[in-house]
């Protein structure tokens, strides 16, 4: 056993990123299912280990808590190798760029629309139109990037592919039609194959 524990909600892309990275690194871990909709990230016990009240949360073998999905990915990749981060400084920095872009310009639209529609059952008319507009802008940017690149950030598969595929492959659940993004669809299939996960 590697000794890692993950508090995560299995339907959350941010949590799945951590699961897939641990699996890609062939590390055993204990998964502690934590249901966001049931308020399990807001209990006193959970807030004591993550004051931000968010999953995923990684507990290291020494019991130290680490939050923020993409920070956990970087920690695991640095600590355990596995080739998920390029060795050259600038190429690695491009992975960082896409990880921050994912959290700022992709997840708040693509993941949030999915959460509101699929998990909270909100009708389309109640959704802020910006969510659709900016989500489409994010997919359009990815389509251009993947038009002549196999992987999103680097010449090899990297953490950026894991981070971005999590919500992109579920974008249809947020009302985004991926048929308009053929290069993105082909890339999703490549990443799913690489991670050995089935198609959604």
* Ramachandran angles phi, psi of 4, nearest 5°: -80, 145
**Which residue blocks in the chain are alpha helix, DSSP H?**
13-24, 44-49, 69-80, 89-101, 107-114, 129-147, 159-168, 182-195
**Cα angle 197-119-116, degrees, rounded to a multiple of 5:** 110
C-beta of 198: minimal distance to a second copy in Å? 28
Closer residue to a second copy (CB): 104 or 189: 104
C-beta neighbour count of 25 within 10 angstroms: 17
Chain residues binding a second copy by CB under 8 A are 51-52, 60, 64, 66-72, 74-75, 78-79, 89-90, 92-94, 96-97, 99-101, 103-105, 107-108, 141, 144-145
Closer residue to a second copy (CB): 36 or 72: 72
What gap in Å lies between CA 147 and CA 183, rounded to an integer?
6
Closer residue to a second copy (CB): 75 or 192: 75
C-beta of 196: minimal distance to a second copy in Å? 26
What gap in Å lies between CA 84 and CA 25, rounded to an integer?
9
Closer residue to a second copy (CB): 94 or 194: 94
C-beta of 193: minimal distance to a second copy in Å? 27
Closer residue to a second copy (CB): 130 or 193: 130
Give the residues across from 138 on adjacent strands: none
C-beta of 121: minimal distance to a second copy in Å? 20
C-beta of 34: minimal distance to a second copy in Å? 18
């Amino acid at each position: 056993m590697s000794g890692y524990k993950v508090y995560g909600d299995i339907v959350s892309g941010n949590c799945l990123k951590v699961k897939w990275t641990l699996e890609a690194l062939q590390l055993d871990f204990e998964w502690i299912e934590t249901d966001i909709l049931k308020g399990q990230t807001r209990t006193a016990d959970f807030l004591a280990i993550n004051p931000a009240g968010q999953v995923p949360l990684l507990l290291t073998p020494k019991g130290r808590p680490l939050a923020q999905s993409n920070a956990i990915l970087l920690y695991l990749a640095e600590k355990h190798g596995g080739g998920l981060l390029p060795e050259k400084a600038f190429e690695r920095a491009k992975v960082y760029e896409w990880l921050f872009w994912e959290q700022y310009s992709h997840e708040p639209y693509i993941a949030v629309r999915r959460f509101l529609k699929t998990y909270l059952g909100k009708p389309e008319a109640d959704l802020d139109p910006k969510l659709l507009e900016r989500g489409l802008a994010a997919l359009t940017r990815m389509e251009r990037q993947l038009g002549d690149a196999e992987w999103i950030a680097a010449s090899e598969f990297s953490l950026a592919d894991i981070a971005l595929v999590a919500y992109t492959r579920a974008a249809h659940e947020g009302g985004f039609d991926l048929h308009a993004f053929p290069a993105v669809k082909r890339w999703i299939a490549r990443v799913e194959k690489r991670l050995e996960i089935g198609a959604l």
